[in-house]
Amino acid sequence: MRPRSTVLVIGAIFLVTGCTGTPTPIAAGPPSSHHLVAPPTIANTLTVQGVEDGRTVLLSDGTRIRMAGLAAPEECWAGAATAFAKAFLLDKPVKVEPGDPTTVDEVPLWLADGTEYALLAVSQGVLRHASPHDAAFRDAEDAAAKAGLGLWGDPCRGRPKGPTSTPPQPPAAPTPNPAPTTTTAAPVFGCAITYRVTYRWNTGYNADVTIINTGNAPISGWTLRWTFTRGQIVTDMWNATAKQSGAEVSATNVSYSATIAAGASQLVGYTGNLRADNQDPIGFSVNDHPCEIR
């Protein structure tokens, strides 16, 4: 890895022109005191030909690289991390340190404008960093956590990957005289929606749609629906399976997101195209029940 360069104002990192096609995040990146790695000078332009996950890509010279400084994607945010990488990297020119094409090298990667991708991904909460001794990565992750970006918001809330286990509880002692049976309240369905555009670039955007179960019973299996008003098209989705007919969009749960407990929430993320007058969708419903917009 080459030495760190002089201090750069972070606004310059994300500055793009209309002809570059490079995405511009909405959320603020790491503070301007960060030191970024200077991209190498490479005679031949390389492009990203494939995205395996949020930190592993295939380059046009046949090299498969894992980007230095990034931890493995969290299970609860893996789909979003891959979509983010595709939006910023797929078919885009990049700069990397030369490596051995027969191995999976862990090397830095820069966008065409000099932005170090690993630091960008960490600053947006897409991935955790794997550089505990690098102040720039630590500050970027702290800023993302404070802002509740990416895996620091729903559904991950910054929890470490891997299932959590609950210790077994001893069986309850038998009750000699069972208590009288009480009447259980009838299940009531209720839902609310929050909608937030999380990233935007000159040809597309990422958005989060969060379903909140405001009823008194779990939602077991769901289809979220909404209507676009400006001809937008969903190009990718995570935590649900997308289907679109004209302006009408439906998002149906996948196996791991099927149940939403009472009072709990479930995030659905998607990538869409972008129009100059891109407006929020309308008519949100879950299982054909209209939902309050929050």
- DSSP assignment of 151-177 equals GGSTTTTTPPSS----PPPPPPPPPSS
| C-beta atoms surrounding 140 within 10 Å | 27
Indicate the range of 59-73, 148-162, 193-207 predicted with least confidence. 148-162
Residue 125 lies in a domain: yes
Residue 34 has pLDDT above 80, yes or no: no
| Residue 141 pLDDT | 92
| Residue 87 pLDDT | 85
Domain co-membership, 104 together with 46: yes
| Residue 233 pLDDT | 94
Average pLDDT, the chain: 79
CATH code at position 242: 2.60.40.290
Domain co-membership, 87 together with 203: no
| Residue 154 pLDDT | 74
Indicate the range of 25-39, 91-105, 199-213, 228-242 predicted with least confidence. 25-39
Indicate the range of 93-97, 173-177, 199-203, 233-237 predicted with least confidence. 173-177
Residue 179 lies in a domain: no
Structural domains in the chain (count): 2
Q: Label residue 175 by pLDDT band (50, 70, 90).
A: low
CB 247 within 8 Å of CB 236? no
CB 223 within 8 Å of CB 287? yes
Q: Label residue 20 by pLDDT band (50, 70, 90).
A: very low
Among the candidates 99, 133, 152, a domain finishes at: 152
CATH code at position 27: 2.40.50.90
**When comparing pLDDT for 174 and 140, which is higher?**
140
Domain co-membership, 27 together with 134: yes
Residue 38 has pLDDT above 70, yes or no: no
| Residue 237 pLDDT | 95
Domain co-membership, 45 together with 132: yes
Domain co-membership, 148 together with 11: yes
Residue 158 lies in a domain: no
Residue 137 has pLDDT above 80, yes or no: yes
Domain co-membership, 146 together with 208: no
Domain co-membership, 213 together with 127: no
* Helix or strand holding residue 86 (H, E): helix 78-89
| C-beta atoms surrounding 222 within 10 Å | 21
Indicate the range of 55-64, 100-109, 188-197 predicted with least confidence. 100-109
Indicate the range of 34-48, 111-125, 269-283 predicted with least confidence. 34-48
Contacts of 34 (CB under 8 A, 6+ apart): 7, 8, 10, 119, 135, 136, 139, 140
CB 54 within 8 Å of CB 82? yes
Domain co-membership, 138 together with 199: no
When pLDDT is averaged across residues 83-88 and rounded to a whole number, the result is 87
49 is in which domain, residue-wise?
4-152
Domain co-membership, 22 together with 138: yes
| Residue 184 pLDDT | 63
Domain co-membership, 110 together with 38: yes
Domain co-membership, 28 together with 139: yes
Among the candidates 102, 135, 152, a domain finishes at: 152
Residue 170 has pLDDT above 90, yes or no: no
For strand 93-96 and strand 265-273, is the pairing parallel, antiparallel, or unpaired? Answer: unpaired
Indicate the range of 65-74, 122-131, 157-166, 255-264 predicted with least confidence. 157-166
